Structures are given as structure tokens and as C-alpha cells.
């Protein structure tokens, strides 16, 4: 998206790129250790095609050691996983989204790859998800049917397996959220039909794969059923309309905080390099100055264009999510319909924004923006490495 583009293009060709021709005699004769280092320097968007070349390729590309090598030589690539809306009688569909400037996408702004469905997938897409390295944990139940189920997607091989069930069934993502901290997944939110705060939180130890309850201390009850929740400086924040709360995982204690009192205007936020970023309900991108305890606008003409674009502007959009994509700000939203400002347009849009600190200011520049999928809703989007 740019100032000269008032009619952004729709969905691009999503055909996978051609597999690289690595099945030559010279490459096949390489020891696994050398072949692994070669593959670690190739963009991950080629992996689905390359894994079909041979059993050896599939084994190398699905090896945990390959991802350790990528981390060591600094070729890790964050990847967005998206689950759009789907019909109630079909299992949810997951996709990976690859964006320019990656060399494997010479002609398209992006490419959307389908992920094989889980045979045990929940039929409705109302759950919460969290990335643990190269795995996604899909947690909880639907809007009408709470569940304790956990499904795990291995992003290296795009295979599914059952995870350890929660101790109690949880409702959909509007009432449950999951966060990762120090190799532990914290889940908070309503369970079953019980409205009390008892057993409102539980925690999964990734190493032992066991859940345990976390008691609430410091706050007798939460005075709202709506929260904006996320992690910051090793604490969980639950920001409600009237009060804001912070949970210290070391002390297992909630406390009322006043530092984020303006959160009532915010629908979602994320942390990049120890700075909190958000988009307000009116479409402004802001960052939180922990010294002055104020929210400050992110500067730049690109940010105003993103907010007020006549066909896909962020102002008063029905739905928005923001994520940290390898140090860049990734924004996903569904614009309002031209005919009815109360209804979504039916297109999921995505933008990647580079952030630059200039003394006491932060400036944003759009690196990429486009519509990526036909849908009135997206139930989950998460970044994996």
C-alpha cells in the first residue's frame, strides 16, 4: 500500500513456488551434516515442496537439528499461521503466510500455503493458540461447547498430535487466553458454566507436559468479562474497562495497576524490543513510554495512510490483531463494508510495519500491505519460528 495506490490489489496467485533442483548427484552425495547446512540457508517457504523430493529430504527438513542450525547461523524466519472463518460442518483450515522480500516469491507480494487439517480438529474456530518455538498449541473449546482439548501442530512437518488435556474445559477465546513464559503456558479465562473465579487459571509445564491449577491471590474478583490480555516484562496484564490488573508469575499474585489506565481505547497490543505497541479503536498506532506512563503516536505518513485509506483503512474496523514478526509490527484486520459500516468487508488484510526509534519518537514505515484471504472473520493468528 502506498499513497499512489488507492485501489490495492486483491488476492494474488497462491500457487507454491517451484521446488529447488537439489536432487542432483552432487548434492545427494553430501554427508547429512553438510546437506543440513545447505538447507538451513534456504528460505522455509521452499520446505513444503522440498520435503516431497525424497525421504532423505523429508527427514532432514523435519529434523530438530536443522532448526538449531538455522538459529546458530541466524537464518531463522518467523512465519505467520492464520486460521480464517469456516463453515460449522467443516474442520478449521490453517494457512502459513509468506511475504516479500523473500527470494522464493519473485512475482507475488505473498503466498498462502494450506496446512493439512487435523483429524481431531474442533469444528468451530473459537479457541486460543500459542507458539512454542516451532510448535503451535491449539487450546480450548468453542463458543457453545467448552473443551479441555489441546492439539499441537509441528510447524516443521505440518503434522498434528494430541497434547495434554487441560484440567478443566475452557470456553472460546473471548473468555480464555494463553501465553508463553519461561517454557510454561499460562491459560486464563472462564471454564464450563461456572462464573466464579475459582480455578480461573492453570499452567502447563512444557518440559513435563503437565498442567496444574494457579490460585488467584491479591484480587478478590474481576469486575469485567472483557479483557485485553498480554505479556510484558514477565507479567501478564488483564486490562478491563474499569480496572487493570497485573499477574506476577513468581509470586502467583494479581494486583491492580494504574499505569495502563488508557487501555479502554485499545483492542489489541504486542511487545517489540521491550516496548508495548497498540492500535486504538480509531486506528492510531501508539507506543507506551514506561517513563512518562503515556501512550504516544507512532509518527509517519504511512501510519496515517494505513488509518484513513478509503478502501481498507484501520479506523473503526470490526476486528484487528497485531503481532511481533521478527521485530516488525504485523497488523491483521478486516475493513468495514462500504455499504454497511457496521458489517465487515469480507477480506482479511495484513500489513508489515518497520519501526525506527528517533530519540523520544518512534516512526513507522509500511514494508508490505495487501489483502490475503476472503473471510468475514479470523479466529486465530500466531507467529512461529
| Domain extent for 180 | 118-257
Describe the strand order of the beta sheet including 110-115 as a list of residue ranges.
110-115, 94-99, 79-84, 378-384
Query: Is there a single domain that holds both residue 132 and residue 253?
Result: yes
Task: Provide mean pLDDT across the span 295-324.
Answer: 84
Q: Which residues contact 303 (CB under 8 A, 6 or more apart)?
A: 284, 285, 297, 353, 364
Report DSSP letters for 99-161, one per residue: ETT-TT-SS-SEEEEEEPPPTT--SS---EEEEETTEEEEE---SSS-B--EEEEETTTTEEE
Residue 232: what pLDDT? 78
CB 150 within 8 A of CB 165: yes
Residues 17, 282: Cα–Cα separation, whole Å: 38
Average pLDDT, whole number, for the chain? 76
Query: Is there a single domain that holds both residue 127 and residue 39?
Result: no
Residue 287: what pLDDT? 92
Q: Is the pLDDT of residue 133 over 70?
A: yes
- Report if residue 233 sits inside a domain: yes
CB 317 within 8 A of CB 283: yes
The candidate with the shortest Cα–Cα distance to 39, out of 187, 122, 156, is 156
- Report if residue 180 sits inside a domain: yes
Query: Is there a single domain that holds both residue 34 and residue 156?
Result: no
Task: Provide mean pLDDT across the span 103-125.
Answer: 60
Q: Which residue has the higher pLDDT, 95 or 106?
A: 95
Residue 366: what pLDDT? 92
- Residue that is last in its domain, among 213, 232, 257: 257
Residue 341: what pLDDT? 57
Confidence grade of residue 343 (pLDDT, cut at 50, 70, 90): low
- Residue that is last in its domain, among 257, 292, 326: 257
- Report if residue 170 sits inside a domain: yes
- Report if residue 305 sits inside a domain: no
pLDDT per residue as tens digits for the range 261-307: 555 567 678 899 989 898 887 888 999 888 887 889 999 999 988 88
Longest dimension (CA), the chain: 68
Question: Is the sign of the CA dihedral 311, 315, 319, 324 positive or negative?
Answer: positive
- Report if residue 327 sits inside a domain: no
Task: Provide mean pLDDT across the span 360-382.
Answer: 86
161-165, 254-258, 289-293: which has the minimum mean pLDDT?
254-258
Residues 80, 236: Cα–Cα separation, whole Å: 23
Q: Is the pLDDT of residue 104 over 50?
A: no
Q: What is the CA radius of gyration of the chain?
A: 21
- Could you give the 3-state DSSP secondary structure of residue 210? strand
- Report if residue 50 sits inside a domain: yes
Chain-centre distance of CA 76, in angstroms? 17
Question: Is the sign of the CA dihedral 41, 47, 50, 51 positive or negative?
Answer: positive
Confidence grade of residue 362 (pLDDT, cut at 50, 70, 90): very high
Residue 211: what pLDDT? 95
Domain count along the chain:
2
Task: Provide mean pLDDT across the span 235-250.
Answer: 76
Residue 50: what pLDDT? 81
Query: Is there a single domain that holds both residue 69 and residue 200?
Result: no
Query: Is there a single domain that holds both residue 197 and residue 136?
Result: yes
Task: Provide mean pLDDT across the span 165-169.
Answer: 87
pLDDT per residue as tens digits for the range 146-159: 778 898 998 877 88
Residue 228: what pLDDT? 67
Task: Provide mean pLDDT across the span 239-254.
Answer: 76
**Local structure of residue 378 (DSSP, 8 states):** E
Percent of the chain with pLDDT over 90: 14
Residues 28, 30: Cα–Cα separation, whole Å: 6
Residue 383: what pLDDT? 86
Confidence grade of residue 340 (pLDDT, cut at 50, 70, 90): low
- Could you give the 3-state DSSP secondary structure of residue 300? coil
- Whole-Å CA distances, 331 to 82, 306, 313, 321, 356: 12, 10, 12, 6, 17
- Report if residue 251 sits inside a domain: yes
Residues 137, 183: Cα–Cα separation, whole Å: 13
4-13, 274-283, 287-296, 340-349: which has the minimum mean pLDDT?
4-13
Residue 182: what pLDDT? 86
CATH value at residue 187 = 2.120.10.80
The candidate with the shortest Cα–Cα distance to 129, out of 193, 190, 80, is 80
Q: Which residue has the higher pLDDT, 165 or 339?
A: 165
Cis peptide bond N-terminal to 101, omega within 30? yes
Residues 41, 171: Cα–Cα separation, whole Å: 42
Query: Is there a single domain that holds both residue 122 and residue 198?
Result: yes
Q: Is the pLDDT of residue 332 over 70?
A: yes
Query: Is there a single domain that holds both residue 54 and residue 161?
Result: no
Q: Which residues contact 190 (CB under 8 A, 6 or more apart)?
A: 146, 170, 171, 175, 176, 200, 225
Q: Looking at beta carbons, which pairs linking 88-95 to residues 24 or more positions away fall under 8 Å?
A: 88/123, 88/124, 89/123, 90/123, 91/117, 91/118, 91/121, 91/122, 91/123, 92/117, 92/121, 92/122, 92/123, 92/124, 92/125, 92/379, 93/117, 94/153, 95/373
The candidate with the shortest Cα–Cα distance to 381, out of 74, 54, 82, 27, is 82
Residue 63: what pLDDT? 82
The candidate with the shortest Cα–Cα distance to 63, out of 81, 43, 40, is 40
pLDDT per residue as tens digits for the range 65-85: 888 888 888 888 888 898 886
- Report if residue 273 sits inside a domain: no
Task: Provide mean pLDDT across the span 307-321.
Answer: 78
CB 61 within 8 A of CB 50: yes
Query: Is there a single domain that holds both residue 43 and residue 171?
Result: no
- Residue that is last in its domain, among 257, 273, 308: 257
Q: Is the pLDDT of residue 25 over 60?
A: no
Query: Is there a single domain that holds both residue 30 and residue 152?
Result: no
Confidence grade of residue 229 (pLDDT, cut at 50, 70, 90): confident
Q: Is the pLDDT of residue 380 over 70?
A: yes
Q: Is the pLDDT of residue 119 over 70?
A: no
Amino acid at each position: 500500500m502506498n499513497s499512489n495506490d488507492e485501489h490495492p490489489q486483491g488476492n494474488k496467485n497462491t500457487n507454491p513456488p517451484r521446488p529447488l533442483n537439489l536432487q542432483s548427484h552432487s548434492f545427494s552425495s553430501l554427508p547429512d551434516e553438510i546437506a543440513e547446512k545447505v538447507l538451513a540457508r534456504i528460505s522455509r517457504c521452499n520446505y513444503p515442496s522440498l520435503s516431497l523430493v525424497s525421504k532423505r529430504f523429508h527427514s532432514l527438513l523435519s529434523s530438530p537439528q536443522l532448526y538449531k542450525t538455522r538459529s546458530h547461523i541466524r537464518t531463522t524466519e518467523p512465519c505467520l499461521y492464520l486460521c480464517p472463518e469456516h463453515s460449522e460442518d467443516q474442520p478449521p483450515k490453517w494457512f502459513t503466510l509468506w511475504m516479500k522480500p523473500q527470494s522464493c516469491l519473485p512475482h507475488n507480494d505473498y503466498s498462502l500455503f494450506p496446512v493439512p487439517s487435523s483429524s481431531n480438529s474442533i469444528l468451530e474456530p473459537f479457541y486460543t493458540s500459542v507458539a512454542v518455538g516451532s510448535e503451535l498449541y491449539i487450546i480450548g473449546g468453542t463458543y457453545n461447547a467448552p473443551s479441555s482439548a489441546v492439539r499441537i501442530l509441528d510447524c516443521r512437518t505440518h503434522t498434528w498430535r494430541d497434547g495434554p488435556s487441560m484440567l478443566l474445559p475452557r470456553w472460546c477465546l473471548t473468555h480464555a487466553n494463553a501465553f508463553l513464559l519461561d517454557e510454561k503456558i499460562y491459560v486464563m479465562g472462564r471454564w464450563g458454566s461456572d462464573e466464579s473465579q475459582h480455578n480461573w487459571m492453570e499452567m502447563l509445564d512444557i518440559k513435563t507436559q503437565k498442567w496444574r491449577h494457579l490460585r488467584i491471590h491479591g484480587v478478590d474478583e474481576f469486575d469485567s468479562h472483557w479483557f485485553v490480555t498480554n505479556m510484558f516484562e514477565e507479567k501478564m496484564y488483564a486490562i478491563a474497562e474499569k480496572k487493570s490488573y497485573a499477574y506476577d508469575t513468581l509470586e502467583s499474585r494479581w494486583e491492580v495497576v494504574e499505569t495502563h489506565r488508557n487501555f479502554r481505547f485499545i483492542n489489541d497490543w504486542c511487545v517489540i524490543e521491550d516496548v508495548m505497541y497498540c492500535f486504538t479503536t480509531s486506528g492510531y498506532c501508539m507506543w507506551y513510554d514506561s517513563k512518562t506512563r503515556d501512550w504516544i503516536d507512532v509518527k509517519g505518513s504511512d501510519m496515517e495512510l494505513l488509518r484513513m485509506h478509503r478502501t481498507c483503512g484501520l479506523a473503526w474496523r470490526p476486528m484487528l490483531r497485531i503481532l511481533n514478526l521478527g521485530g516488525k509490527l504485523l497488523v491483521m484486520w478486516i475493513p468495514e463494508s462500504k455499504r454497511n459500516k457496521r458489517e465487515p468487508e469480507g477480506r482479511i488484510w495484513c500489513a508489515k510495519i518497520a519501526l525506527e526509534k528517533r530519540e523520544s519518537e518512534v516512526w513507522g514505515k509500511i514494508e508490505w500491505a495487501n489483502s490475503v484471504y476472503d473471510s468475514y472473520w479470523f479466529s486465530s493468528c500466531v507467529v512461529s519460528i
